[in-house]
Amino acid sequence: MKKLIVALDVNSFKKAKKLVNTLTPYVDIFKIGSELFTSCGPAVISYINGKKRKVFLDLKFHDIPNTVASSARAAARHGVFMFNIHASGGYDMMRMAQAAVKDETKRLKIKKPVVLGVTVLTSEKKKDTAKEVVRLAKLSKKACLDGVVCSAGETKRVKKACGRKFIVVNPGVRPERAAKNDQKRITTPREAVRNGADFIVVGRPITQARSPVSAAKRISEEMAA
Asked whether the beta carbons of 192 and 164 are under 8 A apart, the reply is no
pTM metric for this prediction: 0.93
Structural domains of the chain ordered from first start: 4-224 (3.20.20.70)
Q: Is the pLDDT of residue 127 over 90?
A: no
Q: Is the pLDDT of residue 162 over 70?
A: yes
Q: Is the pLDDT of residue 109 over 90?
A: yes
Q: Which residue has the higher pLDDT, 2 or 221?
A: 221
Tens-digit pLDDT profile for residues 76-108 = 999 999 999 999 999 999 999 999 999 999 999
d(CA 139, CA 75): 22
Confirm whether 127 is a catalytic residue.
Answer: no
Counting DSSP H helices and E strands in the chain, the numbers are 10, 8
Q: What is the 3-state secondary structure (H, E, C) of 151-175?
A: CHHHHHHHHHHHCCCCEEEECCECC
The residue annotated as part of the active site, out of 60, 102, 112, 159, is 60
d(CA 141, CA 117): 9
Asked whether the beta carbons of 110 and 140 are under 8 A apart, the reply is no
Which candidate, 220, 165, 223, places its Cα nearest to that of 28? 220
Q: For the residues of 55-124, what is the DSSP string, one character each?
A: EEEEEEE-S-HHHHHHHHHHHHHTT-SEEEEEGGG-HHHHHHHHHHHHHHHHHHT-PPPEEEEE-S-TT-
Using CB atoms within 10 A of its CB, is residue 180 exposed (0-12), middle (13-18) or buried (19+)?
Answer: exposed
Q: Is the pLDDT of residue 183 over 80?
A: no
How far is C-alpha 20 from the chain's CA centre?
17
